[in-house]
Amino acid sequence: MNKKIAITLPMSWLELTDRQLYYLYNLFQDNLSADQIKTYCFFLWGKIRIECRYDEHDYIVRHGRDTFKVSRELIASAIHELDWIAEIPEYPVRISRIKKHAALPADFQGVEFEKYIYCDNLYQGYLATQKHSLLDEMASVLYNAPRLKTNAAEKMSTFYWFASLKDLLARTFPNFLRPVDSMKPDNLLEQGAPIGRRLQEAMNAQIRALTKGDITKEREVLSMDTWRALIELDAQAKEYEEFTKKYGK
């Protein structure tokens, strides 16, 4: 007689608890395949334990007080419920607290534009150099914790948080920002310019656009809400694009 197991699994990144995020990000460090990671998560989050191997193709597993025989094929099919793990979160997700330090709002609404610019520079710098110390600097800003030292899972959380934030903002402000999947690997090093100088020039250009060249307004601009600043920059980018289409450069 066949038995049925009622398993509850998270269906998206947004449903993950801090504990589940720590577990997932630690798995990311172990050089496992996507299917291996999904399998580990399936058994832990589904509260299933392998008791023993039944034969070459089947296992005896425990769920609660009940035991069942399941096939490798059934497990391979079931883990597809966690395929979303292999994608960048559609909405920013992060560990909500590191030690005693609470995280900023995941979507950066209400966060000063200056913090976004600073974190974006560190993020782009990390993509170019792979220096993990830059992720610690990012975490120090994202958790309002100067000189915060993070472990491997927390560094991964910091990276995934900002990557998914960038993707959200690119979809929300498409005239000013490009979606993640439109970026090419060589974009960071185009024209051979040093990454630090290029990021500084990009930041200065954003500030000049918002201040209209009035340096007395720089502090006001930097303290703006990130979303309000990006709304303005997106509108200016759209106006410029429409102008160049009509009149040429």
185-196 b/e with 16+ CB inside 10 Å = b? eeebeeeeeeee
Reported as type and span, the H/E element at residue 102 is strand 101-102
Tokens of 149: 């030292």
Q: Which whole-number Å values give the CA distances from 195 to 121, 160, 202, in the listed order?
A: 9, 21, 11
Q: How far apart are CA 72 and CA 35, in angstroms?
A: 13
Residues 6+ positions from 137 with CB-CB distance below 8 Å: 122
The per-residue pLDDT for 193 is 45
Q: How far apart are CA 42 and CA 70, in angstroms?
A: 14
Cα dihedral 97, 102, 105, 107 sign: negative
Q: Where are the domains of the chain?
A: 13-86, 97-247
Going by their DSSP bridges, the two strands 97-98 and 66-71 should be labelled as: unpaired
For the chain (length 249 residues), average pLDDT per consecutive 10? 72 96 94 90 86 75 75 82 92 95 97 92 89 95 95 96 93 75 37 50 61 62 86 78 64
Q: How far apart are CA 242 and CA 237, in angstroms?
A: 9
The per-residue pLDDT for 208 is 64
Indicate the pTM of the whole model: 0.80
| 3 state SS of 225 | strand
Other Cβ atoms less than 10 A from the Cβ of 198: the count is 17
4: exposed, middle or buried (Cβ count in 10 Å: 0-12, 13-18, 19+): exposed
Beta sheet of 48-53, edge-to-edge order: 48-53, 58-63, 66-71
Question: Backbone phi, then psi, for 103, in 5-degree steps?
Answer: -80, 155
pLDDT digits (tens, 9 = 90+) for 141-190: 999 999 999 999 999 999 999 999 999 998 998 877 765 444 433 333 33
The per-residue pLDDT for 249 is 58
DSSP label at 5? -
How many residues does the structure list for the chain?
249
DSSP string for 63-116: ETTEEEEEEHHHHHHHGGGGGGGGS--SS----SEETTEEPPPTT-TTSBHHHH
Q: 49 - beta bridge partners?
A: 62
Residue type, 104: L
